[in-house]
A and B are shown apart, each in its own frame.
Chain A
Amino acid sequence: DIQMTQSPSSLSASVGDRVTITCRASQSIGTYLNWYQQKPGKAPILLIYAASSLQSGVPSRFSGSGSGTDFTLTIRSLQPEDFATYYCQQSYNFPYTFGQGTNLEIK
């Protein structure tokens, strides 16, 4: 299985901050990388697919980049509704695997 490792595991930030979350794959996965946001008690929501494509309806302050083994999710100008847990997920091969999550908290 491809292991996905996110860093940091938790992060404190303030409204208006720019935040970057990193995801590293245990082998090269091209751009087969997706990002999801999950709030407590809710299902995950797709934010970014294919490493850098913004899912329809997702605010443009979210962006993704990277290829191969190293990827980043950037949130420009944090909004109160952005405080949540973020997961990366590889779709290069089966079984699909997720990172352990990054919990973004309000400072």
Chain B
Amino acid sequence: QVQLQESSPGLVKPSETLSLDCTVSGGSLSNYYWNWIRQPPGKGLQWIGNMYYSGSTNYNPSLKSRVTISVDTSKNQFSLKLTSVTAADTAVYYCARGRLQDFDYWGQGTLVTVSS
């Protein structure tokens, strides 16, 4: 059974960089897209971006200038970096495995709060 688990930085200060890891167990990174999706408290879902296991990336244009997604196949892990955060970036962040066009496995989510 594939499982995804996000790291939990918890609190990030405004203007700093949010860094999250997602560790994948029970399966390989190969042949899938690895996604980050977020959900502000009480609101809907926003797709942040993804990386194919081979390294190609796709980012949401609304966040593209601040986002980097990377994959570490040796650790079976992928990561999100979001720079220059503000309170608007406070959200539950989910990692998710992507087949070509859907998200079939999700992490449990981790709440990241941006506050001084």
Contacts and interface: CB of A to CB of B under 8 A. Distances in A.
B78 interface: no
Is chain B's binding surface mostly helix, strand, loop or mixed? loop
Contacts of A94: 58, 60
A43 B38 CA distance: 10
Chain B interface residue count: which class? 20 to 34
Is chain A's binding surface mostly helix, strand, loop or mixed? loop
B109 to A, nearest CB: 5
Contacts, number: 56
B105 to A, nearest CB: 8
Interface residues of A, number: 23
A59 interface: no
Interface of B: 44-47, 58-62, 94, 96, 99-104, 106-109
Given A34-B102, A97-B47, 18 more contacts: A1-B61, A43-B96, A43-B106, A44-B45, A44-B94, A44-B103, A46-B102, A49-B99, A49-B101, A49-B102, A50-B101, A50-B102, A55-B104, A89-B45, A95-B61, A96-B47, A98-B44, A99-B44
